[in-house]
Amino acid sequence: MTYWDPRIETIPMTDLKKKQYKLLKSLVYRLYSFSPFYHDRMKEQNVHPDDIRDISDVRKLPFMFKRDLRDNYPDKLFTASQEELVRYHVSSGTTGKPTVVGYTQNDIDGWSTSLARGLTSIGLGRGDIIQVSYGYGLFTGGLGLHYGAERIGATVLPTSVGNTERQIELMQDLKATAIACTPSYLLHIGEVAEKMGISIKNDTCLKAGILGAEPWTESMRTRIEDWLGIKAFDIYGTSELSGPMFTECAEQQGFHIWSDLALVEIIDPKTEEPLEPGEKGEVTVTMLQKEALPMIRYRIGDISSMEEEVCACGRTHPRIQRIQGRVDDMLIIRGINVFPSQIEHTLMTIPEVGQHFQIVVERKGALDDMLVRVELNKESFSDKINDLMQVRRNVEHRLRNALNVNAEVELVEPGSLPRFEGKSKKVIDKRSM
Amino acid sequence: MDTQKFVIKQISIFSENRPGRLAAIAHALGEEKINILAFSIAEANGFGVVRALVDHPEKAHDKLQSLGFNIAFTEVIAVKMKDKPGGLYEVAKILGDAGINIEYSYAYSGKEGAVLILRVDHVEDAIKKIKNSGAVLLEKSGFHG
C-alpha cells in the first residue's frame, strides 16, 4: 500500500479530531475578525468564536449557500487581497449566475496535495501518463487535475475537452495510462474510438479513469470497466471547495475526505440537523485551511451519506458515498421525489437499452407526465414489433418499480440522444419553461 | 430438398417515427447504388421498423450500420402470385391449408408478376409445405445481385 503522506493519511481518529478542532477554532477566530460577511452572520446567529470548544460545536455556526457567493459577486467574500491571489476560477453557472473563486499559493498547494493523496491512493504515481481531458480554463477540472498529477510526478497530457479523434490518437501514441474526464465524455471517447476501429481495452495502455464533474452510478462504473478494460474511480469536489478534491481509493468505497483540509457534515436538508453515519442527507463542507475564500458549513446541495469506519486501504479519514443526487435536481413527479440517478441506475440494469437517456417532464392537464427516452441497443434490435414493444413495457415496468411513479418510455435510435462533453443535461423539465 | 436457395435475406431497420428517417435510409442506399426491390414500414407508437428487400443486402447493412442505424438481417420467403383478381386468395388459401403461421407479410407487383413476401416462424418447414402444395417459391438468386 502506497501513501502520499502516510503520517497524516493514517493518523488515529482521535488525533485527527484534535487537529480538526484546532484548525476550526483558528479559522473561526480569523473569520470573525477579518470577514465582515461572516462576522455579521455569526452575530445574527448569536455565536462567538469562544463558543467553539469542541469539534462538534461546528453545528453552532451559520451555514453558507451558493447564493452568498452570487450576492457577493465577484470577490466580496474574499479574505485575501488581490496581491495575494495567484489564480481565479469561475464556475460554469449552470444553475445561475457564475461565481468567482480566488486562490492564494497556499490554496493551490492544499488543493494539489489533496489530489496527490487521492491519485496515489488509486495507484498512480511517477511513470504514469495522465491524460487530462477535463476542460482547461475557467473550469477547475483541467488545471486542478493537471497540478495534482504533476505533484505526484506523473507525466501530464493536457488534452482538455474536444477534438476526440486526436485525443484517441495521442492516447495511443503517448501511451496514456490514466484519463481524467467526465464519465459521459469517456463513453463518447469509447464510441468514437470504436468507429475509428480502435478498442480502448485492447489497443491502448489505459488502466484507470478519474471520472467526475457530473453524477454517475455504480452500474455505469461496471459498464465502463467491462467495456473499456480500465478501473473507473469517482472524484468529487466543487469550485467552492477549490475544484475536484477527493477521490476514491483503490477500494472504490467512497471518497476519502481529507479531514485536515475539510470537515464534512451530512445534514437533513429540511430540519438542518446532523444525520448519523450511513444516513442520506445534504453534504455540508467546512474548508479548514483555505485562505482566499473560506467556506464554513457550505451547503453544496449534493445528497450522500458518510462512512466513518477505517477503510481497508488503511486510511483513517472518513468517506462519503457516491453522490446520490442533488437537493435541487430532485424532480417532484405527482408528489413523489425522483432523482435522475435512480432512473440511470435502473436503466443500467436493463441490457436491451444503452447508457444514455433523457427525461422529459411535462404537465398534462393537472398531472405531471414523465417521458424517459432510451436508446435501443444494437444487439437487442428485433425485426418484430412485438419484441420491441416488450422491451419498452419491460423498461416502463422496471422504472415504475424503482420510482413508484409511472414513466412513459420511448425507444430511440442508438446514438440519437445528445452527448455532452461537459456536464450532462439529462432532464428537460417543461413545467418550468 | 435444398431449402436454403429459397431463403431470402431481408434487411430490417429500427427507426424513430419522425420526419426524414425514411429519406435518410433511402438516400444512403441510393448513394451506394443499391436497388430496393420491395419494402414496407411497420409502425408502433413512437417507432417503426423499415423492412426491405434489396439487391445487395450485405452492402446495405454495412452502409446503414456505419451511419449509426440499428439494422439486422431477417430471413423471409417469396411466393409467386397471379397478377389478377383472386391471385392473393389462391396463395393465402394454400398457406392457410398448410397451417403456416405468418408473422408479417407484404407484397409487390413487379416485372415478373406479383410476389408475396412472408416472414414465418419456421422457415424450412414452411418452404417444404409450400413446395408440396404446388405454389411457386422464388429463389434468392432472383433478388440478390
Q: Do B46 and A376 touch (CB under 8 A)?
A: no
**Is the minimum CB–CB distance between B105 and chain A shorter than 8 Å?**
no
Beta strands in A254-346 (DSSP E): 255-256, 262-267, 281-287, 298-304, 306-307, 319-320, 325-326, 331-333, 336-338
**Is the minimum CB–CB distance between B107 and chain A shorter than 8 Å?**
no
User: What are the residue boundaries of the structural domains of chain B, listed by start?
Assistant: 6-75, 76-142
Distances in Å between the alpha carbon of A283 and those of A50, A84, A90, A363? Answer: 26, 30, 21, 31
| pLDDT confidence of residue A433 | 65
**Is the minimum CB–CB distance between B67 and chain A shorter than 8 Å?**
no
Q: Which of A68-77, B48-57, B84-93 has the lowest mean pLDDT?
A: B84-93
Give me the CATH code for the A331-432 domain, please. 3.30.300.30
Residues of B in contact with A382 (CB under 8 A): 72
Q: Who among A410, A414, A416 is closest to B46 (CB)?
A: A410
Q: Do A385 and B74 touch (CB under 8 A)?
A: no
d(CA A245, CA A32): 26
**Is the minimum CB–CB distance between B16 and chain A shorter than 8 Å?**
yes
Q: Do A388 and B44 touch (CB under 8 A)?
A: yes
Neighbours of B86 (CB within 10 A): 9
Query: What chain B residue is nearest to A415 in terms of C-alpha separation?
Result: B68
Instruction: Compare A219 and A405 and report the one with higher pLDDT.
Output: A405
In the predicted model, is pLDDT for residue A178 greater than 80? yes
pLDDT in tens, B84-129: 899 889 888 888 888 888 999 999 887 778 999 999 988 998 999 8
d(CA A79, CA A72): 13
* Angstroms from A385 CA to nearest CA on chain B: 7
Q: Do B14 and A376 touch (CB under 8 A)?
A: yes
d(CA A366, CA A361): 13
Contact B10, B37 (CB under 8 A): no
Q: Which of A40-44, A177-181, A384-388, B56-60 has the lowest mean pLDDT?
A: A384-388
Element (H, E) at B77: strand B70-81
d(CA A108, CA A86): 8
ipTM exceeding 0.85, yes/no: no
**Is the minimum CB–CB distance between B89 and chain A shorter than 8 Å?**
no
Please state, rounded to an integer, the average pLDDT across all residues of chain A: 92
In a mutagenesis test of the A interface, which of B47, B62, B66, B103 is the best target, namely the one with the most A β-carbons within 10 Å?
B47
* Strand bridging mode A155-157 / A85-90: unpaired
* Angstroms from A383 CA to nearest CA on chain B: 6
In the predicted model, is pLDDT for residue A47 greater than 80? yes
Residues of B in contact with A415 (CB under 8 A): 68
CB neighbour class for B16 (10 Å; exposed up to 12, middle 13-18, buried from 19): middle
CATH topology of domain A1-327: Rossmann fold (3.40.50)
**pLDDT (mean) for A185-204:** 95
Residues of A in contact with B72 (CB under 8 A): 381-383
Strand, helix or coil at A144? helix
Please state, rounded to an integer, the average pLDDT across all residues of chain B: 90
Query: What chain A residue is nearest to B74 in terms of C-alpha separation?
Result: A383
Instruction: Compare A427 and A318 and report the one with higher pLDDT.
Output: A318
Q: Residue for cell digits 413487379? A: B110
Q: Do A413 and B14 touch (CB under 8 A)?
A: yes
Share of chain A above pLDDT 90, in %: 76
CATH topology of domain B6-75: VC0802-like (3.30.2130)
Q: Who among B42, B68, B119 is closest to A415 (CB)?
A: B68
| pLDDT confidence of residue B96 | 86
Residues of A in contact with B69 (CB under 8 A): 413
d(CA A221, CA A249): 15
Residues of B in contact with A411 (CB under 8 A): 14, 16, 46-47
In a mutagenesis test of the B interface, which of A356, A382, A383 is the best target, namely the one with the most B β-carbons within 10 Å?
A383
CB pairs under 8 A between A and B: 44
DSSP-assigned letter for residue A424: -
Written as one letter, the residue type at A336 is I
Helix axes A183-195, A164-173, angle to 10 degrees: 80
Q: Which CATH number fits domain B76-142: 3.30.70.260, 3.40.50.261, 1.10.10.10, 3.40.190.10?
A: 3.30.70.260
pLDDT in tens, A115-141: 999 999 999 999 999 999 999 999 999
Cis peptide leading into residue A74 (ω within 30°): yes
Residues of B in contact with A378 (CB under 8 A): 70
| pLDDT confidence of residue A92 | 64
Q: Do A412 and B71 touch (CB under 8 A)?
A: no
| pLDDT confidence of residue A1 | 64
Query: What chain A residue is nearest to B44 in terms of C-alpha separation?
Result: A385
In the predicted model, is pLDDT for residue A422 greater than 70? no
**Is the minimum CB–CB distance between B68 and chain A shorter than 8 Å?**
yes
| pLDDT confidence of residue A117 | 98
* Strand bridging mode A178-181 / A129-132: parallel
Q: Residue for cell digits 477547475? A: A140
Spell out which chain A residues touch chain B, with contact meaning CB-CB distance below 8 angstroms. Answer: 376, 378, 381-385, 388-389, 410-416
In the predicted model, is pLDDT for residue A96 greater than 70? no
Q: Which of A211-215, B26-30, B38-42 has the lowest mean pLDDT?
A: A211-215
Residues of A in contact with B15 (CB under 8 A): 413
pTM: 0.66
DSSP-assigned letter for residue B61: H
Query: What chain B residue is nearest to A409 in terms of C-alpha separation?
Result: B46
Angle among Cα B100, B102, B107 to the nearest 5 degrees reads 120
Angle among Cα B128, B130, B131 to the nearest 5 degrees reads 65
User: What are the residue boundaries of the structural domains of chain A, listed by start?
Assistant: 1-327, 331-432
**Is the minimum CB–CB distance between B94 and chain A shorter than 8 Å?**
no
Confidence bin at A95 (pLDDT 50/70/90): low
Distances in Å between the alpha carbon of A178 and those of A72, A116, A128, A134? Answer: 38, 14, 7, 13
DSSP-assigned letter for residue A432: G
* Angstroms from A413 CA to nearest CA on chain B: 6
In the predicted model, is pLDDT for residue A36 greater than 90? yes
The string over A44-76, giving b where at least 16 C-beta atoms fall within 10 Å of a residue's C-beta and e elsewhere, is eeebebeebeebeebebbeebebebbbeeeebe
Distances in Å between the alpha carbon of A219 and those of A140, A348, A354, A419, B30? Answer: 27, 6, 12, 19, 41
Q: Do B68 and A388 touch (CB under 8 A)?
A: no
* Angstroms from A162 CA to nearest CA on chain B: 21
